[in-house]
Amino acid sequence: MPELPEVETIARGLQKRVAGDTIESVWLGSKPQTMKSPPDEIARTLELSRIQEVRRMGKHIVFELERKGVPRPLARGKLRKKLKPLSPRSQWIVHLGMTGRLVVCEPSEKLEKHTHAVVKLASRRELRFVDPRRFGRLSVALQGDFEAGGIEPLEVDLDRFLKLFRGRKTPMKSALLNQKLLRGVGNIYADESLFRAGVRPKRRVSTVPRVKLEALYGAIRDVLTEAIALGGSSISDYVDADGEEGFFQLQHRVYGREGEPCLVCKTPIKRVVIAGRSSHYCPNCQK
């Protein structure tokens, strides 16, 4: 499942490839769970909009759209009444879920199975959304005011970070995964950050001393920044039709290494389940 660094990498890749292009038409598949906004509304918002910018918000990919024309009215008159007016600025929001991919390709390229959206661009290329497991979501913000919730972990300052976590009774790991606090930190990077900060995943937030929280603040930023830097070198592979194979991954120090020796002290890495998610830690290095 793509986490913040992967989504950032994908958003940067799309920014390079499709920013400035105009959407001419949109085809949407019929799987209802993929569409978080009404399909008609998605199509109408995208059609004849120029993609100004593609960026990441939390784990969402956000296409900033600027209206360039008014799409043809829908044939069905009674639906037309319900349509909200088009605004000069809007957003297309894509959440990749577990297996979602955005592919930029030539129209002649074979349509992959599980393609749920095909966006035709003025440059004669297509942007396709492919998602076999269908946890991905497409939606639009008609006024361009999408809120991803929580705070960007790479933008939050130390004071705000400390306030966010202060006094919480939940395990540290649960707090890190809580998207209402920090957005976009997932299982892998939470484990890696806690290891670097020397904090056990199960430890209650309120019992973690300030100095450790400060260390965690730095660790989260380091881990995410390093992972984004690694991803940056594989952008083009990822958004091409071949999908994930181009991704370089941060070498995990604890995640997925249950029973293997800690890279610092050789103690076997332990795995516990917290809130239904596997957590990996070194019982010696993390207190």
Q: Which is nearer to Zn ion, 142 or 263 (CB)?
A: 263
Structure tokens given for 232:
């940056």
282 touches Zn ion by CB under 5 A: yes
Q: Which is nearer to Zn ion, 161 or 195 (CB)?
A: 195
Q: Measured from the CB of residue 216, what is the shortest distance to Zn ion in angstroms?
A: 17
Q: What residues are annotated to the active site?
A: 2-3, 59, 277
Q: Measured from the CB of residue 262, what is the shortest distance to Zn ion in angstroms?
A: 3
Question: Residue 137: what residue type?
Answer: R
Burial of 31 (0-12, 13-18, 19+ CB in 10 A): exposed
Closest-by-Cβ residue to Zn ion is 262
Size of residue set near Zn ion by CB under 5 A: 7
Q: Which is nearer to Zn ion, 57 or 199 (CB)?
A: 199
Look at the alpha carbons of 28, 135, 55, 38 in this order and tell me if their dihedral is positive or negative: positive
Q: Measured from the CB of residue 260, what is the shortest distance to Zn ion in angstroms?
A: 11
State how far Cα 193 lies from the chain centre.
18
Chain positions 211 to 270 lying near Zn ion, rule: CB under 5 A, are: 262, 264-265, 267
Q: Measured from the CB of residue 195, what is the shortest distance to Zn ion in angstroms?
A: 8
Q: Which is nearer to Zn ion, 111 or 265 (CB)?
A: 265
Gap between the Cα atoms of 138 and 116, Å rounded: 9
End-to-end CA distance of the chain: give it in Å, rounded. 28
Structure tokens given for 52:
């100004």
Structure tokens given for 97:
């879920």
Q: 159 near 139, Cβ under 8 Å?
A: no
State how far Cα 124 lies from the chain centre.
27
Q: Measured from the CB of residue 267, what is the shortest distance to Zn ion in angstroms?
A: 5
Among the residue ranges 145-153, 164-172, 231-239, 277-285, the one whose residues contact Zn ion (CB under 5 A): 277-285
Q: Which is nearer to Zn ion, 29 or 198 (CB)?
A: 198
Q: Which run of H or of E encompasses 130?
A: strand 126-130
CA distances from 61 to 53, 97, 137, 145, 217 (A): 10, 11, 10, 14, 24
**Which residues of the chain form contacts with Zn ion (CB under 5 A)?**
262, 264-265, 267, 282, 284-285
